[in-house]
Amino acid sequence: MDRILVERLVREVINQHLGRQAGSPGGSTAGAKQCGCSGSGSGSGCSCKDGGACSGSACKDGLCVVHNAAGVRTIVDHGAERITSGAGVERAGGIDPELARMIDHTMLKADATPGEIEQLCAEAKKYSFASVCINASHVPLCARLLAGTPVKVCTVIGFPLGATATAVKAFETEQAIRDGAQEVDMVINVGMLKGGDYAYVEKDIAAVASAARRFRVLSKVILETGLLTDEEKIKACVLAQRAGADFVKTSTGFGKGGATAGDIALMRRVVGSAMGVKASGGVRSREDALLMVTSGADRIGASASVKIVGGETGAAARGY
């Protein structure tokens, strides 16, 4: 896809749908915080880290998914398909079965041990979570442990930087699928997008999406919106759609900031109903959750560092 065509499509989206000047770095809703917490943003006064709901080892503001069960239920009631959660529901005493079917049980931290992955899968199987999301080296273990269950195995590609070569991403996708992955979340090459090499970015996404499609595996494209201007978010969505991906997703959870309602509204307007949109980076409050859902998110990613449990609990949250 050449630069001229991308620029034309961006102008059409702005003129026909947004009715505003694109290019501001903070999301398309004025005043929206990148992190979405009750503090002042990712700097001083912010109570979350990398878009997560809890800073350090415990919730400090009472607005994480654990302590804001009503907000989680509101998301489900208003049409959210998935919620991301970390390990620990077993220790916390279980989870509402109605919510369990909406959860992507996630562990992407670098020091995750096989024992922790086994715990993740055991919880996912026991509570019938939608999927487990793990790094690719753990896919064979998860595929074996979850065989014969409805729980899907999801893994990440080019994660978390997105800067690996296209051929490597394609190989990584095919290998993960052979190992048992049923969903793949790839990260775009942010530097190439910002540098204007749109043909490279489209080809990069298409290599993963086509590999996934051959095996009927769902593909999601992580934009890392905290690093992009509004205009770049539009371009990334257009490229992902043209490349044949199934979803666009806001962030990795390891970058700067998380999902904002403005980003979700912007992404939904660009892709229309042809693709899914996932907000990742934390469920902060009832109001924020409602705003993201009504803005057009199909899936909501609460930080993987928190445990979604049934009711109030003071259990500590852990990281990706």
Choice among 50, 61, 179, 185 that is catalytic: 185
Question: pLDDT per residue over 214-237, tens digit each?
Answer: 999 999 999 999 999 999 999 999
Residue 146 is encoded by which pair of tokens? 């979850």
Residue found under tokens 């070569």: 165
Among this protein's residues, is 220 annotated catalytic?
Answer: no
Which candidate in 33, 49, 152, 249 is catalytic?
249
Q: Which of 33, 152, 233, 278 is catalytic?
A: 278
Give dist(CA 208, CA 169) in Å, integer: 7
Catalytic annotation present for 249 = yes
Burial group, residue 286, by CB count within 10 angstroms (0-12, 13-18, 19+) = middle
Neighbouring-strand partners of residue 293? none
- Which structural domains are found in the chain, ordered by start? 3-14+62-301 (3.20.20.70)
For residues 47 and 52, what is the distance between their CA atoms, to the nearest angstrom?
Answer: 9
Tens digit of each residue's pLDDT (9 = 90 or more) over 21-56: 444 444 433 333 333 333 333 333 333 333 333 434
Residue whose entry in the numeric block shows the structure tokens 């978010």: 233
27 Rama sector, left if φ>0, alpha if ψ -120 to 50, beta otherwise: left
Single pTM value for the model: 0.73
Confidence of residue 250 (pLDDT cuts 50, 70, 90): confident
Helices then strands, each counted (H, E), the chain = 12, 9
Asked if 209 and 244 count as a contact pair (C-beta separation under 8 A), the reply is yes
